[in-house]
Structure 1
Amino acid sequence: MNLVVRSRRAVLPEGERAVAVHTEAGRITAVTGFDDVPANVVTLADDEVLLPGLVDSHVHVNEPGRTEWEGFATATRAAVAGGVTTIVDMPLNSIPPTTTVDALHVKREVAKGQVSADVAFWGGAVPGNVDQLRPLHEAGVVGFKCFLLDSGVPEFPPLDDAGLRAALTELATFDGLLIAHAEDAGVIAAAPAPHGPSYAGFLASRPGAAEESAIARLIEAARDTGARVHVVHLADAGALPMLRAARAEGVPITVETCPHYLTFAAEEVPDGATSYKCCPPIREEAHREALWAALVNGDIDLVVSDHSPCTPDLKLLDEGDFGRAWGGIASLQVALPVVWSGARARGIPLADVVRWMAEAPARLSGLPAKGAIAPGRDADLVAFAPEERWTVGELRHRNPVTPYAGRSLRGVVRRTWLRGEPTDGEGGRLLRRGVPE
């Protein structure tokens, strides 16, 4: 199918303009003037903007092993409904975790034939698997996730300082990437334990100092080994000065944050509302606004969902116990309108949102065919109506629990194409660092 889509507004790497996007065999072949089109062109409505398909490099699919939490079929259907045409699956919460080549093969076999979006995979760095890092890299994972404290699941233990440095030393030999959940177990152990419905109590149990201490350790290890590192889901704005300084001196470190840290504030989270529980926690309004400023200033590189759902019973919604409820926020389908709503309210252009949610995650994940409307890229396209209002209701995630339920947002995804084809089936592919299977 040779699809041509034109729009009076399209977000391109060089900015917004009216264009026609020509595709052949799933790739963009040309970007021309709005009127330079054949007869069988698809013309977007006047209130729609043409965007590249988003890349969400932080998604917990959980299949196999915990498919009742989320699976490839439901996660990718939710993704394309939200304008996300590529996801990168996290290595933990599935059983087995993706810490060996054999486990990667298991996950790929399970995913095959049931994905509506393209899917790439992170490997895992855990104690004792340094010898698996190069083989996993050669098998096509985009990088390696580690935890610097208990991950919450026993089959994915954290790295201590020696393990962190051993992994980074190995990754530096082939320019591999380590992405780290950066909270300090010692700082959290010294804080009051969370219990009951008090959100303030939960927040106090995971102070910002825990992020800052762990990020400082990560920076030092990256500096000493020369390996590339990435901080996932930054919530604490207090870490920004050290990150800025490290980047200025040439430490190869990048940073992401998430829609929930840009949307909610601790002062607004109701007691007992465990749908808001995540780790690191949603912090105060001052942190939220500082994270927005850091995105605009380039101190944070990208925004990804950290879609981490579970079954409703694990959220303990009836009890509202923040100490015992599972931590994780489901947001894959709503990430674009959530971030756009916040950006629009702050006068931030849509092109910036596309850079944070398409171009930058594609670059982090080593997926050069993704993330932009440009010749040679995959024809992953989204028709987005940025001014249309809607209220979050039924979603395509496997489990419906989300703190965004009932929230009024701006921006509706009306159509999505994956490699030039409408995303109305299971046409996704499994990617090996950007190469389709």
Structure 2
Amino acid sequence: MYLHGTAKVNGQGHLEIGGCDVADLAQEFGTPLYIVDEALVRQRAREYVESFRASGLKFQVAYASKAFSVMAMCSIAEQEDLSLDVVSDGELYTALKAGFPAQRIHFHGNNKTPDEINMALDANIGCFVVDNFNELHLLNALAADKGKKVNVLLRITPGVEAHTHEYISTGQTDSKFGFDLGNGTAYRAIQEAASQSNLDLLGVHSHIGSQIFEVEGFAMAVDKVAGFAVKVREELNITFRVINLGGGIGIRYVEGDTPLPIAAYVKAITDSIITNFTNASYPLPEIWVEPGRSMVGDAGTTLYTVGTSKDIPGVRKYIAVDGGMTDNPRPALYESKYEAVLANRINEPVSETVSVAGKCCESGDMLIWDLELPKVNSGDLLAVFCTGAYNYAMASNYNRIRRPAVVFVKDGAADLAVKRESLDDIVGNDVIPARLKQTSAAK
């Protein structure tokens, strides 16, 4: 059994996180429940910042809020001196409502709408990461309308394929994101960006994928980006002041996952930057990165209550929990794997193999296949680890199931960060057209 962060087994044989017995959390907040280990989130943030400081380079560590965007997380990011990466008006609004400094916000996305761009311009955010020619010219025009000149990075695809799931590999040539480096599109985008009077081109952005366990891909991306920077300087007299290398560092979900320490990834990136740019007699750029999963992934645990079970002799035993693909769609989307324990009887010996089903009306709503546990009873608490990234963020109301609450735990205190949705929340935006009401009344 591998426990992350402050998680441990207490004297009652219960799982404890942040000094809080999860059985008590279930009693107070109900289940399903997202539990966030605040101390571990802060530890990860500091590992990034301290590792970059050791390099001597100028840097920004921007938390990729798409992994987990709530106001409480934005507050922690601000307190830990992080910047923030957003990809929609909703994420931008969340950050601004939390009081996050707009100048430390970077706006991503391959299809930013005019309304989103105007919202970001009005907020005076720090940088736009431009993804295509349409956006390049739209952003320049909208900035001109407001009499503003805005910082931009151009997102390029360097042609590096990370060893990851094909749906979360984004640095290869065939990608919906960015300007391609190999076919000359990125070079032409640099020329276009430099000619726009209301854009200040800071440099380029590159992201090669997610859940990456090796450093070689990052070093290769730096090699390609540095070579491109040198070419642009020599031929266009444009010097990149910022190189953004995205995110993608993996975490341990299950046995066999072998991520390196954050410091090892940062050292590989910064060493490669220093070597490449120094050898080219190129001014060392400021380095930006965008960790998301590796900041919050292993700090999250989802707590469920076990309900029904179904034993098919000679085949398998299913146990069903009070959540599922509505609060964690990743197994259905990516065949993602998780580890879990019976949180209220964690020390009891393993006695059966079960598969954990969700409560949605879908055969594919399976959270974990073939999990070894003590004898499972209805009412037991199942804790699924490493659900801090892309679980709450991707949660839905499929089957009109309410999204869970989120609590942050630290030093024995549990604080509500997101309220559990109510049934009134579920229908809160529904409207019955007047003509349908009239039809019902006629009957």
User: Which band: TM-score by shorter chain?
Assistant: 0.3 to 0.5
Larger C-alpha radius of gyration, 1 or 2?
2
Kindly indicate whether structure 1 or structure 2 has the higher relative contact order, using CA contacts under 8 Å at least 6 residues apart. Answer: 1
